[in-house]
Structure 1
Amino acid sequence: MHFETADITGDRLPLFLLFLSFVITFLTTRLITRLIRAGKGPFKNNVRGGVHIHHAVPGIILTVAGAFVSVAVDGARPGAEISAVMIGIGTSLVLDEFALILHLEDVYWSREGQLSVQVVCLTMAGLGLSVLGLNPLRSDADDTVTIGPVALSVNLPITIACLLICVAKGKYSTAAIGAFIAPVAWVGAIRLARPRSRWARKRYSTEKRERARVRAEAFDKRYGSWGLDVEDLVAGRPTDDGQQTQPAAAT
């Protein structure tokens, strides 16, 4: 792993614009949806022909269009910068409704829906580290030499497999950190899954799920409360915490 000197005026400008558009879109989207939820301001739910169109839909369109533009311009300016902004906006809109897509139901204002906030914040952190120059494929031992093809071909599949296992186990924070610090992903893949994760539901016995629940509750009691407070501040308190609200808002 290696930190390169960050120069956002050069080749890293598209990445910086992607990061900036991602952050601004997320904050704007959450502000608008909270205003809709509170019944304030000029914004309303986006309903067409009786169908509630969630903002993940234009997000997917922007992301795909931005990817096509990025490939077509092959790094040429200003196409690279334009595609970066399109992808940043589109990806932010999609990930803001990540939990809704994952559960295939409208959980935007539920506690499950706050998974979207976690995924967005972790993505934001990863993009920010990349903008600052963190390159997980560079070695600190020799700044001029990248990881060899043999080492990369061995370690990369293992790390990717561990990252996928962490996601299946409901350990999204571990997966995000593990993408930059591989041993974190390795450890996360070995340890018990979150009790409500798909991995636990399909692979664990009743006794093992109970062990996972006890461990998760102990971890959340020690470390998780501040995270939930931050999520409530950013995303709004969930409906299942006793607040009756409108259906999920869309921009």
Structure 2
Amino acid sequence: MGAWFSREIVDGGRLRMLFFLVAFILAFLFIRFSVRMIRRRARWWPGNVTPGGHHIHHVVFGLVFMCVGGVGGLMVSDSTSAAAAALAAVFGAGTALVLDEFALVLHLDDVYWTQQGRLSVQVVFVAVALCGLALLGLRPLGMAAVSEDQADDFARGAWAIAVTLLFNLSMAVITLLKGKVWTGLIGIFVSVFSFVGAVRLARPGSPWARWRYREGSRKLRRSAARERRLHQPVAQLARSIEDLIAGRPSQPRPDEPAAPPARKRE
């Protein structure tokens, strides 16, 4: 195990990414546990940070951690040192605290326990997935494979890289325009996902469907049928996982009863 860690993580230049990702996940789980205990009014939990009666959101602590980890990391020249790993962990923890209140920053309103606030959880899941792919050694848009294969011929390699980047990026953009967010984001690292997503039907309501599918057309009907058959069960499962990890929003979805209102969010 030690030899694998040294070979794949340290020598592979992914030590900081590993510590960033682990700290990111742990910080997100901790802060979600904290806010749920505060929402439940658990007496044994410390509660909100309110100096002078002013509530401080944890995005503030996240920004401080990001500044310390980011600036400190720039000062460390050895990317394989313990200091570099520790500062990457500090940066990861700060990023988790910031993204956990992403919706609050986006809306400039305390939407933490509303449906709009669920966007924060989705952004965190996306960040974990992309960091995990990077930790596995995958490079966006297939850059690594092309550069290694064409390293012996600079001119031919430059053209190959440009064409590959343009093709993969185009496929990823088309997939995202078709409303397939997860497929498009993963396709940035694994191009076959974006290629498959680009050639298949768009989701109803997506920008591609609005631009390309006429009302009442066969493609739009097939897209709606596929949405009911495939995407809705997956979306329901994803919402269940989000509720399990992050807690249910106070504002109900149309298909569920309202939850009791909370006096304080966090």
Matches within 5 A, 1:217-228: 220-228=231-239
Residue 154 and residue 42 in structure 1: after superposition, are their counterparts in 2 closer, same or farther (change >3 A)? Answer: same
Q: List per-residue Cα deviations over 1:151-192 (Å, max 9, x = no partner).
A: 334444665577678778875423431221245446767975
Q: List per-residue Cα deviations over 1:185-237 (Å, max 9, x = no partner).
A: 46767975774x8x69x999xx69x9998876665423211111111101111
Matches within 5 A, 1:1-251: 7-10=8-11, 11-40=13-42, 41-49=44-52, 51-76=54-79, 77-135=81-139, 136-139=142-145, 148-156=157-165, 171-182=180-191, 184-185=193-194, 192=202, 195=205, 220-241=231-252, 242-246=258-262, 249-250=265-266
Q: Cα offset for 1:114? A: 1.8
- Counterpart secondary structure, 2:48: coil
Q: Cα offset for 1:108? A: 1.4
* Distance in 1 between residues matched to 2:104 and 2:211, nearest whole Å: 24
* Distance in 2 between residues matched to 1:115 and 1:21, nearest whole Å: 21
Larger Rg: 2
Residue 58 and residue 26 in structure 1: after superposition, are their counterparts in 2 closer, same or farther (change >3 A)? Answer: same
Larger displacement relative to structure 2 (156-165 or 98-107): 156-165
Q: CA RMSD in A?
A: 3.9
Native 8 Å contact 2:203 2:224 kept in 1? no
Alignment gaps of 5+ in structure 2: 1-5, 253-257
Residue 170 and residue 143 in structure 1: after superposition, are their counterparts in 2 closer, same or farther (change >3 A)? Answer: same
Letter in 2 for 1:16: L
Q: Give the % identical residues.
A: 34
* Distance in 2 between residues matched to 1:193 and 1:150, nearest whole Å: 34
Alignment gaps of 5+ in structure 1: none
Tell me the residue number matched to 2:255.
Answer: none
Native 8 Å contact 1:119 1:172 kept in 2? no
TM-score normalised according to structure 2 size: 0.70
Q: List per-residue Cα deviations over 1:94-137 (Å, max 9, x = no partner).
A: 11122222233222112222222222122212222322333343
Q: Cα offset for 1:89? A: 0.5
TM-score normalised according to structure 1 size: 0.74
